[in-house]
Amino acid sequence: MCDTFVVTGEATADGAVLFGKNSDREPDEPQVIERHAAASHPPDAQVHCTYLRIAQVPKTHGVILSRPVWMWGAEMGANDQGLVVGNEAVFTRAPQQAVGLLGMDLLRLILERASSASQGVEQLTGLLEEHGQGGACGYRNHSFRYDNSFLLADPEDAWLVETAGRAWVAKRIRGVRAISNGLTLGERYDRASVNLAAHARDLGLLRGKGPVDFARCFGQPGLTWAAAARRRRACVERYLGDKGKVMVADAMGALRQHGDDGQAGAGLRQTVCAHASWLPTRRFGQTTSSMVSQLSARRPIHFLTGTSGACTSVFKPLWHDTGLVGYGPPPAMRYDAKSQWWRHERLHHLAIRELPQFLERFVPEREQLEAELIAAAQGVVNPGARQAVTEDAFARAGAIEDRWVERLEQRPAQGGASLGALLWKLLGARAQLP
């Protein structure tokens, strides 16, 4: 489960487009931040996606990705043309394709091939119609399969694309718009797949000759409700709408919401900032990485956590021309003290024992650091200075997290032998956390 949003320039404080996403996946599924430079490819080249090989294009753009370590595709990312993309799992009544492109594969292919949000829609829908989508999407849960929706944004434009099998609709976005794990586009959209109505009728999802209500025809209401898709989407849109002119820190705050009770999703339903629970509706949904992008025409800035739990993480600024200096080695499949993702996961496991109390003490320190990093990122121009900001961000975030690990290790575990405590103990043992 995930949450993604875009805020176009008329609703932001500085006129830049803001984009954000929480990538919610299985709780001990590492996610890597990586950068790939622009490249040229020979005429007969192919690209090996997670399950399919497809024809490569002559040139690919440089990309920054946040990617589950076991798959080729990415949960979210940005390219050197100013385009950002995030996807959401959606549950539809379209027939499932056994093997195809994953939504994450499509996302990475869009970033590598498109120069704008509008061009990204063309690339996405063309790939979808040619290859379809399908295949196991889960890290350990191999039966977990889904279709996808996408938010695409650049400094001038934003688009929402919703899919069901190879069918799709697309709508240009203005203002504040969030998506979660459900179809939202009814009869009003700007582009659609060819013969959409005939396709819906062939599947027995549409009667008569009226316009196609995409969400009503193709959506799975039960699964969408179980994912709390409408509730989480409303939570994000209400939070950002109440801010007036939205700022970068507001975008980060939107991804850290735990619902009205503020108890880190202690109830049955999934929350925007997600933490795993023994409950069946939340067992496989945890925020494993987060991203906020500030898309100005001058120079986009991308803030990524590269760690799980948006509320326990620090957003670090990145640029395409400065690389990932300070990030360190990518995470392995088990605990690795050299990996930032796993070092932070140790903090996350300790913090979850009494998360509200931890956040009460941790948040002021994190907010001060992020305010300094945001200000520093806005003020730098040359690549050398930006590189220093990124390196400093990773170093300072790591130092704060290491200090908090030391503090929490000295405190006795709370909560006894509750089901939640037992789940986290099991997860820690499986990941070989110290």
Question: Could you tell me how many helices (H) and strands (E) the chain has, helices first?
Answer: 11, 18
**What is the spatial distance between Cα 12 and Cα 17, in angstroms, rounded to a whole number?**
7
Alpha carbon separation from 133 to 15, 136, 278, 282 (Å, rounded): 35, 10, 30, 25
Joined together, the tokens standing for residue 79 give 């390219």
Joined together, the tokens standing for residue 240 give 């950002």
**What is the spatial distance between Cα 208 and Cα 124, in angstroms, rounded to a whole number?**
29
The answer to whether 102 touches 68, Cβ cutoff 8 Å, is no
Joined together, the tokens standing for residue 190 give 């700007």
Residue 2 annotated among the catalytic residues of the structure: yes
In 254-355 the beta strands, taken as DSSP E runs, fall at 286-295, 301-304, 316-318
Residue type, 219: G
| Catalytic position from the list 2, 137, 217, 273 | 2
**What is the spatial distance between Cα 280 and Cα 259, in angstroms, rounded to a whole number?**
18
**What is the spatial distance between Cα 244 and Cα 259, in angstroms, rounded to a whole number?**
20
The residues annotated with a catalytic role in the active site are 2
